[in-house]
Each structure stands twice: as structure tokens, then as C-alpha cells.
Amino acid sequence: MKLFKNINLDKLKTGLSKTRDKVFTSIAETISGKAKIDEATLEELEEILITSDMGVDLSMQIIERTRETLKSEKDRTKVNVLEILKEELESTLSNYKDDDHEFAEMEKFKPFVILIVGVNGAGKTTTIGKLAHNYKKAGLEVVIGSADTFRAAANEQLEIWAKRAGVEIVQSVSGSDPSAVAFDTLNIAKTKNADIVLIDTAGRLHTKNNLMNELGKINRVLSKVLDYAPNEIFLVVDGNTGQNAIMQANEFSKYADLTGLVITKLDGTAKGGSLFQICNQKNIPVRYIGVGEGIEDLQTFDPKSFVDAMFTKTETN
């Protein structure tokens, strides 16, 4: 099976421009012209990280590690301090990146079943369409199951994305049983000898008991058709929501064994720092990030590329 990583550093830099302005530009301005990086400067840097949605505890940890590193460093120039901060931030994210796990598992199971969860408006539907495109582009046979049967608009939108990606979609009438759609999807995927199954679900946190019961039922139905399914459960969160994304991860963790995060809409926010906080608090690997509206703009998450894009000054900065 062909493995792939959809990473476009130029697009990532463009998509993270607002976050870069919030983090890199503020840090660079703070340490610019300083003869030495003293305790007062470190406290200023800590404040920048906190106000960049990285959270108090994590920001304090990062600055403390930076402080310890600087104790043994003779070079306290602006460039070196920035490099130390970059390394600390990358290290933070690398702890929660499960390299190639998904691809390794895809070799073992066919079809490989991914359940997509998240609140309405987080970008769940577009994420499924973009994932389908990525997998199709890698030469894999993909089937989408439209199991968010409570919103007709969601089905219509997912159908449009399925056509754009060039993959089959399994749908049902509005209001029907979501687990029945999941059941039909898996059986069709088995008949087609498909490689990947992506199943959409309803996101209604305001009716938590219904959500829990529905997800539980879908999981039971999937395991009856394929005893190993689902292989993955991805939570889609909107990068604009900052602290709310963590609350959503907390809620869905109660109802589903989340195996990965997809963080969307990072191109429209200065709150990209929340990704660090989500990783730190939830200990769930980030699999993909959304940095634009185009079908190619769902990128495989790579900590080094992400931090490089945050700290790279572009021509327009």
C-alpha cells in the first residue's frame, strides 16, 4: 500500500500567518535589541505564550525548560534564543505525534474503518471530503458513509465533497437510523474490496445521552460486520475555538475512544497555539490540520513543519 504525507510548507506558512504574528513576531520584538535575555525577558516571553492560547501550565513549563537550557548557554543572542524556543515547542508536540501509526495499521486491515466525530460546525464534513481526496490520491479505494442522518444539509454537503474526491458515498433518507447507514457502508465496502471507510456522525453535544447512545450503537454495529472496526476514531475540532476545543475533546473522550485529532480552520485564527495546549492536556496525537478551504489543504500533521511555519518570517511579515 502506498504511504503518503500531504505536507506543503509554503501553504502551511501562509495558513499559520495569524498565529505567527501572534507568537513569532511578538517574541522577536520582545527580545530584539536586548543585550542579554534576563529573567524579566523570560517572564515577558511566558506571557506571550499564555496569551497565544498555549495555556498557563504549558507556557510555564516551556519557559522553565528554556531557562534551564540558557543557564548552560554562552550564546544568548536573539537567534539562539528563538532556536531554543523552537526546539522546546517542537519537543512538546512531538510527544503527541504517533508517526506512521495509521499507515502501518492500514496494511493489516481491509477495509480500514475510520469513524469521524465532532460538534456541528467544526468542519467535520469538509474534513471527510479532504481525507477521502488524500486517500484516493494515494491510490486507495474509499467509501464514505453519511451517518449524520439528522441534518439533510450535512448529507448534501458530504455528497458534493464525495463527488469532488471521486469516491463512493452511502446515504439514507433524513432521520433514518445512523447505525443502519454504517452497517450498509461496511457491507458495500467489503463487496467493493475497498481500502478505506470514512463514516460521518452527528455532533450534538447538547444532547449528550443521545450522542453517547448513538456512538455506542454505531460502534456495536460496525464490530458485528467487522470484528476489528472501527480502527480509528478521529475528533474534528475547530482551531478558532481555543479553550472550547479542549472542552469538546473532554466530552467526546467520555463517549468514544479517541485515537486522533483533526484541527481545522487554523488559517483563519491567531489561536494556533491552542494546538499545543490540546496535545498537552489530552495526550491524543494530532493526525491532520486544516490550513485552507481547498481540497488539498488538509495536511498531515508534522511537529517540525508546524513549528517551522510558526517561526519562519515571510516576505510579507
Q: Give the residue extent of every domain in the chain.
A: 9-94, 101-301
How much is the pLDDT for 317? Answer: 44
Task: Indicate if the pLDDT at residue 271 is higher than 90.
Answer: no
- Give the model's pLDDT for residue 95: 66
Q: How confident is the model at residue 202 (pLDDT cuts 50, 70, 90)?
A: confident
pLDDT (mean) for 69-73: 80
CATH-assigned architecture of domain 101-301: 3-Layer(aba) Sandwich (3.40)
User: What would the pLDDT profile of 93-116 be if each residue is shown by its tens digit?
Assistant: 876 655 555 556 777 899 999 999
Per cent of the chain over pLDDT 70 is 89
DSSP label at residue 295: T
d(CA 126, CA 142): 15
Query: In which element (H, E) is residue 255 found?
Result: helix 243-255
> Which pLDDT band holds residue 59 (cuts at 50, 70, 90)?
very high
Does domain 9-94 fall under CATH 1.20.120.140? My reply is yes
| Average pLDDT of the residues in 57-85 | 83
Bond preceding residue 230 cis, omega within 30 of 0: yes
Res 204: pLDDT: 66
Of the candidate ranges 22-31, 93-102, 302-311, the one whose mean pLDDT is the lowest: 93-102
